[in-house]
Amino acid sequence: MKRIARVALVAAVVVAGCRSFAAGTVKAAWFTQDISCKVGSLIAGYGPNDVSVRKFDDLQLHGLALDDGGSRVMILAFDLLGMDADIIRRIRSACAARLGVKPENVLVTCTHTHGGPHARLYSGRRDYGKADNPYARPTEIDAEYVAFLEKTTAAAVEDLAKNGSWRECLVGFYSSHCDENRNRRYTTVENCASFNAHRRALHKLTTGIADKELGTVVLLDAAKFEPLYVIGNYAAHPLASHAPGLGGYTITADYPGFYRRYIERNVGASAMFISGACGDLVPKDDELGENGARRVGENLAMASIAGICDVRRNATRFVLDKPRLGAKIVTMESRLRAPYRKMFGRDTVSMELHLLSIGDIAFVGVPGEIVNELGLEIKWHSPFKRTFIAYCSTDYFGYMSPANMVAAGGYEPQNQRYASRDTLKLVATVRDGLFDLRDAIFPEDGKGDDPYPDNLALPLVNLPGGIKASKWQRGATK
């Protein structure tokens, strides 16, 4: 577990901690940290007892700190399948203390690679494993690795806080349609689900909903307008490289690693990958090995680069004029399903949902493996221009799916711990939190029930008479 001090903090342009800001800019600093486990460690891919036999590439932690002159936030993206809530809270608190911010200003997320070590319990309690159960262990977590992870993360953030060079940046965003994933469920006419991950011959029949939005956030040098940092957000389980046999025992970041490396080699910018709502989504040609991971990761990277081209050439559309920062943690109390009430020894559970905004862009951190249908619901009900899901962000609380998916059955609902009737409660909790967050960031917009720009006035709207007609339809004078 060597620590690579490849802390990619950029060359100084302004003095760290300086709080003078040009209009429409933020200051940013970032790092990349090796968090690889040792070959021979258990990996969290498909069970608690898989032992790694080789390492393909480094597992990494990517940290990005942003400062708008009034607020400071940080995003930490780990190449891990997931982490338990107590670990995440300790990491948030330790990093927040070093940055001088509240814990809610530090968003943690996991790429969900299946080629990383155990940092969460399968059962949710340490006495779940029985000696006569070959598929469970008395402690299903790598405590030594978790201690290393917490220490390494805190040290990297402390180094950034003390020695980091902050760059003045503009914030651009883009959204594109990328056909690199598919739903792994097939539901019959009578509403019975087939888990097609186990039936490859049925892949061609799978027509389930798939969120194909690739979100890209790019930090541009305020003086040169060159890309400095890129965040990619896409929904597909990172298990493209998880081939039978050797591929299933390999330490790897999977396709997010290929995404980041392609951006870094061809753009010269540092890159972070955040997994979206991929609970029931997999990459096309999943579980086929290294070439599958490369294809998915590099195709997504090329799509992000294409989006950055548009951002730079259409700055008035895609560069935020008010990149104000904000963060908020909201909680939701839910009833546990019957088997889990016995397992956890209680009837209800409190789940955290983490909201972080960069101007009119929001990230929603969820406490487990949310399916893409719920991710789409959150996006549709968000008041922000673009909203992206951050996977396994506040806990690893298993799968989260809507009630009708539970009625249909299948792998994801069978592993759902909370009551399906609370699905809309989850969406509504996020929605209300996002509205409150946006109201706090943009108080000048708080007039009326729906304080949004009138997009009928945009030149792209195709109405007879153009903008003039649009104003007339709104009741304005001709």
pLDDT of residue 341: 87
* Domain match, 359 and 453 both: no
For residue 459, what are the domain limits? 447-473
User: In whole angstroms, what is the distance from residue 24 CA to residue 320 CA?
Assistant: 7
* Domain match, 310 and 254 both: yes
pLDDT of residue 254: 97
Whether residue 15 is contained in a domain is answered as: no
**pLDDT grade, residue 197 (50/70/90)?**
confident
Lowest mean pLDDT among 25-29, 76-80, 251-255, 398-402: 398-402
User: In whole angstroms, what is the distance from residue 9 CA to residue 28 CA?
Assistant: 9
List the structure tokens of 392.
């396994």
* Domain match, 324 and 463 both: no
User: In whole angstroms, what is the distance from residue 84 CA to residue 120 CA?
Assistant: 5
Whether residue 66 is contained in a domain is answered as: yes
Q: What is the mean pLDDT of residues 206-230?
A: 95
Whether residue 52 is contained in a domain is answered as: yes
DSSP 240-251: TT--TGGGGGEE
CA angle 195, 291, 56 (to 5 degrees): 100
Q: What is the pLDDT of residues 410-420, one digit of tens each?
A: 888 888 888 88
DSSP 264-280: HHHH--EEEEEE-S-TT
* Domain match, 305 and 383 both: yes
User: In whole angstroms, what is the distance from residue 413 CA to residue 436 CA?
Assistant: 31
Whether residue 306 is contained in a domain is answered as: yes
* Domain match, 407 and 464 both: no
Buried b or exposed e, range 408-434, using 16+ CB within 10 angstroms: bbbbbbeebbbbbebbeebbebbbebb
Whether residue 366 is contained in a domain is answered as: yes
* Domain match, 366 and 460 both: no
pLDDT of residue 45: 81
Q: What is the pLDDT of residues 256-272, one digit of tens each?
A: 999 999 999 999 999 99
User: In whole angstroms, what is the distance from residue 310 CA to residue 317 CA?
Assistant: 9
DSSP state of 70: S
List the structure tokens of 153.
């993360």
**pLDDT grade, residue 2 (50/70/90)?**
very low
- Name the more confident of 432 and 203: 432
List the structure tokens of 321.
């004029």
Percent of the chain scored above 90 by pLDDT?
67
* Domain match, 461 and 385 both: no
Whether residue 411 is contained in a domain is answered as: yes
Global confidence as pTM: 0.89
**pLDDT grade, residue 23 (50/70/90)?**
confident
pLDDT of residue 106: 98
Whether pLDDT at 128 is above 60: no
Q: What is the pLDDT of residues 273-296, one digit of tens each?
A: 999 999 999 999 899 999 999 999
Lowest mean pLDDT among 6-20, 59-73, 255-269, 310-324: 6-20
* Domain match, 382 and 456 both: no
- Name the more confident of 453 and 223: 223
Q: Please give the C-alpha separations between residue 33 and each of 1, 230, 385, 455, in angstroms, as whole numbers.
A: 11, 17, 31, 42
**pLDDT grade, residue 121 (50/70/90)?**
confident
**pLDDT grade, residue 477 (50/70/90)?**
very low
Buried b or exposed e, range 236-266, using 16+ CB within 10 angstroms: bbbbbbbbeeebbbbbbbbbbbbbbbbbbee
* Domain match, 363 and 463 both: no
Q: What is the pLDDT of residues 310-344, one digit of tens each?
A: 999 999 999 999 999 999 999 999 999 888 888 77
pLDDT of residue 127: 41
Whether residue 288 is contained in a domain is answered as: yes
Percent of the chain scored above 70 by pLDDT?
85
* Domain match, 242 and 281 both: yes
Q: How many domains are there within the chain?
A: 2
Q: Are 172 and 307 in contact (CB under 8 A)?
A: no
Q: Are 129 and 140 in contact (CB under 8 A)?
A: yes
Whether residue 7 is contained in a domain is answered as: no
* Domain match, 461 and 402 both: no
pLDDT of residue 12: 31
Which secondary structure element, helix H or strand E, spans residue 217, and what is its range?
strand 213-221
Q: What is the pLDDT of residues 129-185, one digit of tens each?
A: 344 443 344 356 788 999 999 999 999 999 999 998 999 999 999 999 999 999 998
* Domain match, 346 and 461 both: no
pLDDT of residue 460: 57
